[in-house]
Amino acid sequence: MTETQSPPSSLKLIGIGKTFKEEFCDMIGATQMFSDFDWRDIETLSGYMQAYEASDGAALFREGDNGHYMCLIFKGRVDIYKEDHHDKKKIVAIVGAGKTLGEMAIIDGESRSATAIVSEPTTLAILTKENFLRITNEKPPLAAKILLKIARLLSQRLRRTSGLLVDYLED
């Protein structure tokens, strides 16, 4: 990872060696996004990711930050906040074990649309945009599988949001 793409300093890098690699692959395979990937793809993907621990209160990213990575949550919980027009923070989502956040960052690299704060001790993995681009060059079939998963996830979220917004539309 380049310095501009490194994760927050509040995260503690964990796991080194062959023993951890198998545990890491098990954790990746247990996530909603990658549960149906074959073991070979999970092992390959694990080589492009790093695992971290985060303490309660740690910011994974803040609204407006440059987006350079997505996170897979293995254990713990992360609250996603947006500020309303009165600058009041409101929780818009809670992300727990097996879920992902920040996927748009590896696709578009735009500024973060929300703030992600760890609300209980959390174990997670990070896939940087730089490493995702490496996957697209080095392992195109794997990159296509990941993109399809992200597209499906974003589509589901958009459908859910559209369903919620209809109640706020005036006749």
Domain boundaries, the chain: 3-163
User: pLDDT digit string (tens) for 24-60?
Assistant: 999 999 999 999 999 999 999 999 999 999 999 999 9
Q: How far apart are alpha carbons 148 and 26 in whole angstroms?
A: 21
Largest CA distance in the chain: 60
Residue-wise burial string across 117-130, b where 16 or more C-beta atoms lie within 10 A, e elsewhere: bbbeebbbbbbbbe
Question: What is the percent of the chain with per-residue pLDDT over 70, rounded to a whole number?
Answer: 92
| pLDDT class of 4 with cuts at 50, 70, 90 | very low
142, pLDDT greater than 70 = yes
User: What global pTM score does this model have?
Assistant: 0.86
Q: Which residues, in sequence order, are CB contacts of 21 under 8 Å at separation 6+?
A: 15, 43, 46
Residue 20 has a pLDDT of 86
Q: Give the number of other Cβ atoms within 10 Å of residue 15's Cβ.
A: 17
CA dist 37 to 40, 44, 120, 165, 169, Å? 8, 11, 28, 33, 40
The domain 3-163: what is its CATH number?
2.60.120.10
